[in-house]
Amino acid sequence: MGKTIRSGRFYFWPIITANTVTMTLGIGGDLKRAFVLSIIISCLASFGFLLNDLWDRKTDEINRAGHFEDAGFSTVMIGVVSALGFLLSGIGLALLLGRLELKLAVGIALALVSYSLFLRKVLLLPTVLAAVLAASPLWTPLLLWSRTFDQSKWAFVVAIVLMVAGREILMDSRDQRGDFACGRQTMPTIFGARIAKMAAGMLIASAGVLLVATIASRVFLMPLQATVGAAAVTGAILYLVLPAALRTLNSETRETIQYFVIRSRIAMALTPLLLLFWRP
């Protein structure tokens, strides 16, 4: 069970819940439905992580990822059963919420399957898809329950997608050996790690600029206390990701990229605080 628990990435569940609930709060939606939606997304996320790790055992063996690459038959079967359980749980809960929520959950599940099984050998498309799926706790409430088109919140979602896309490219740089051996067309395997890291840095910097511009556009619509709080959280997020991304340009070690990955996850954990300042 240890490998299944690690591959399920359950530490993402609180972050997913916080982002989904606060975004729903920011658009004046139903918080009970938001909580159920967060559980749906969490279940589907764990399904996707498990499916990817089970499918990627050859690549992970080269990259020494520590997932299922050295697992025996019984351990693999526990992972398969757990993945199916999370998939069915997510779809089942979506069925209780409504038809639109069910369609969205099925769409996310199909995207996760396509990502792991079919799209990994296509250049850039899986990177974009992974970034969009990672931001699903933010855009699903907007898509399902927002009564109006909130330009600032959608801009915020785009900024997060750009930031995660940059992180995905850096993670591909970390896993370049295994991806190359398995014939995957990632930016590092096609253009080299240096160019890939520069592209990732540009995406992350662009995300930072868009995030600052989004907050600045709301300054005159928020009370002073909310403005100061939003600026502080934005500054903390940028402090976590920008210097760490810059460090990867001048380093060839996996540890430097992993350092950025950890800091970017902490930044994602701070985004609910930022969303609280956009309450109606």
User: pLDDT tens, 29-55?
Assistant: 999 999 999 999 999 999 999 999 888
User: For residue 189, is it left (φ>0), alpha (ψ between -120 and 50) or beta?
Assistant: alpha
DSSP tag of 28 = T
CA 149, 152, 154: angle at the middle one, nearest 5? 65
pLDDT of residue 147: 84
Domain that holds residue 12: 1-120
- pLDDT grade for 277, boundaries at 50, 70 and 90: confident
Q: Are residues 103 and 157 in the same domain?
A: no
| Rg for the chain, CA atoms, rounded | 19
Q: Are residues 106 and 160 in the same domain?
A: no
Joined together, the tokens standing for residue 223 give 């009370």
Q: Is the pLDDT at 280 greater than 70, yes or no?
A: no
Structural domains counted in the chain: 2
Residue 142, domain member (yes or no): no
Arithmetic mean of pLDDT, 258-272: 93
Arithmetic mean of pLDDT, 9-19: 95
- pLDDT grade for 252, boundaries at 50, 70 and 90: confident
- Phi, psi angle pair for 67, to nearest 5°: -105, -110
Cα(8)–Cα(13) distance, rounded to whole angstroms? 10
In whole numbers, what is the pLDDT of the chain averaged over residues?
A: 90
Residue 138, domain member (yes or no): no
Q: What percent of the chain has pLDDT over 70?
A: 99
Alpha carbon 274 to chain centroid, angstroms: 17
Residue 139, domain member (yes or no): no
- Name the H helices within 9-98: 12-26, 31-55, 57-63, 73-97
Q: Is the pLDDT at 121 greater than 90, yes or no?
A: no
Helix-strand-coil split of the chain, %, nearest 5: 85, 0, 15
Give 182 or 118, the one with higher predicted confidence: 118
Q: Are residues 111 and 181 in the same domain?
A: no
Cα(54)–Cα(135) distance, rounded to whole angstroms? 23
- pLDDT grade for 150, boundaries at 50, 70 and 90: confident
Residue 230, domain member (yes or no): yes
Residue 140, domain member (yes or no): no
